[in-house]
Structure 1
Amino acid sequence: MDFIEINVHCDPPFRDILMAEMGYLEFDSFVETEVGFEAYISEEKFSHPALQTLFNDYRKQTRIWYELKKIPKVNWNEEWEKNYDPILVDEKIYVRATFHEAKPEYPYEIVIVPKMSFGTGHHETTHQLLALQSEVDHKDKKVLDVGSGTGILAIMASKLGAASVAATDIDDWCIENSLENFELNAVTPDFVKKGVIRDLDIKDEYDIVLANINTNVLLEEIPTYETLLVAGGYLFLSGFYEKDLDQILAVTAGHNLKEVKHTTRKNWVGMVLQKVS
């Protein structure tokens, strides 16, 4: 399966906005550059007319220039090594790639192979959820990571003492990458399943459900997340803008989910909710 690479030149304030919008078009991997960003999508999912419509809409507000090319499926490590730097969250969570030096002085270290999967920790959504996870007791909890990407949030849950973790995603790359990252971090998941959460027929209930996806998917799937949670369990959400917060809260309120806390970072929201009776 080949991929389409889009190299986008845009004004800095619109970088995150355009990446989020392209996520709705099923672009699933992004790399920030000095002039904008690169975005990747499998050739079979790519719609050039849809991309042109998106960019034409935003050209009313900013300058956008782009070029695209087809690239074969390859080992992405070399390309990512050129762009990927380790990150530190709240001075206690150190996320690094396999080619970075270990830093055991930090309480939590997560090692990932940053392939074509969302969730390297750099994006504001993942960064916020990692920080929020560190504030909630995971010890001996049963955790499900929906739309797991690299598996980073499930790995964090395990390092925080979760009794078990499981993960789902709709993309083959993400399933492959998360399995690799679980092994790197000595995490043995209950399962890593491919598919839309409502179609997977998961029978278990969980103390914690993690979902870092996008607004439309969250709005559709929140009712399913609620059914997967035990009473008193926690739901972590991100992948949406601050302007969408009221819409998210309207749906969660209708499904026995009460906000515990939310944070914002560059207009992106990270949120913790608790299931109430």
Structure 2
Amino acid sequence: MIPRLTHRRPFDSALFCGLLGVAGLLCLAEAAGRLGLVSPAQFPLASSVLVTAAGLAADPEFLLDVAATFAGWALGLALTVALAVPAGLLLGSVPPIEAALRPVIEFLRPIPSVALIPLAAFVFTERLDMKVAIIVYASTWPILINTMYGLREVDPLAEETLRAFGFGRLAVLLRVSLPSTAPFIATGIRVSATIALILAISTELLAGGSDGIGTFIILAGSSPDGLTLTVAATVWAGLLGVATNGAFVWAERRLFHWRPGAAR
């Protein structure tokens, strides 16, 4: 039997449906402002926000603030991966160490990261150091837990087969455990990337500084068109978050296309 080719219709596209939902929300927001259901003094018109957001894309000062936020985000996320992945592999591979540190992890993990920003402001004199430290603390947990969980899903038969051929614990970890755990680690990194961006902007908002999207939002509040400018900058923060998550999802699909239920 010759398989029948199927063509995906445009309306079946998740991207198209998402854009349609966003457009519908913007239309509702614009209509609410035009009809007087929401006062423009309380929330600006959606059209005004979009025009202002488009203007920010050509504003050199705003672009420098975006670059500053992304620099702290990238540095913090890179340090998080460098610390959390080896720690997760160690804890997941050596049960006695995991049992000893589990109470500490369960104590530290629920602490709100935003609540630590005032404390970090006293410890770190440089705003970039403070931002990176908060990002590392908040972003460590998804990668750490996912790595530990991924190690538990490794096929024990594959591990025993390598041990039967004389491979040591480190060789089994590198040849079997780490490749099998890689999709879980990637998912943890994707979640941590979003958390890192949130904490980067939150740190700039609460601790101040000379640059960053959060600092731009604070300064925008004192401008004549402060409300519209603040919402427009917030929209850009959301768009950057969506773009970051989308980039990691795309990378997961390309790297782990063989994995059932890969990131969608």
TM-score by length of 1: 0.20
Q: Relative to total residues, which structure has the larger helix share, 1 or 2?
A: 2
TM-score by length of 2: 0.21
**Greater RCO, 1 or 2 (C-alpha within 8 Å, sep 6+):** 2
Structure index of larger Rg: 2
